[in-house]
């Protein structure tokens, strides 16, 4: 079974979409850089956030991430992750 995302990057056939995605990506990395305090760490930290959030949302939506089972919510996991990244961990 393929694990392909439902979303894909815009193609050159849609230059406005490419430009919009680029602006959002740049802004996201600027915010991450502000949190981590180092532009060089923004890319890896941003990738960790995005991929972790995808996993959290998949587990929440499938019913596998419940507070009863894990004693934590998706929002709490996100806060823990941001705190870890901000501390450099």
The residues spanned by each domain of the chain are 15-87
Distance CA(43)–CA(68), nearest Å, equals 34
pLDDT 10s digits, 18-76: 888 889 999 999 999 999 999 999 999 999 999 999 999 999 999 999 999 999 999 99
Distance CA(61)–CA(87), nearest Å, equals 29
Distance CA(79)–CA(73), nearest Å, equals 10
**This prediction's pTM:** 0.77
Distance CA(59)–CA(42), nearest Å, equals 25
SS3 category, 74 = helix
In the chain, which residue ranges form alpha helices assigned H by DSSP? 15-36, 39-62, 67-70, 74-87
């Amino acid at each position: 079974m393929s694990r392909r995302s439902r979303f894909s990057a815009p193609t050159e056939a849609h230059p406005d979409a490419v430009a919009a995605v680029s602006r959002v990506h740049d802004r996201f990395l600027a915010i991450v850089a502000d949190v981590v305090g180092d532009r060089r760490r923004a890319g890896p930290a941003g990738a960790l956030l995005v991929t972790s959030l995808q996993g959290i949302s998949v587990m929440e939506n499938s019913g596998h991430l419940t507070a009863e089972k894990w004693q934590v919510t998706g929002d709490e996991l996100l806060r823990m992750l941001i705190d870890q990244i901000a501390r450099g961990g």
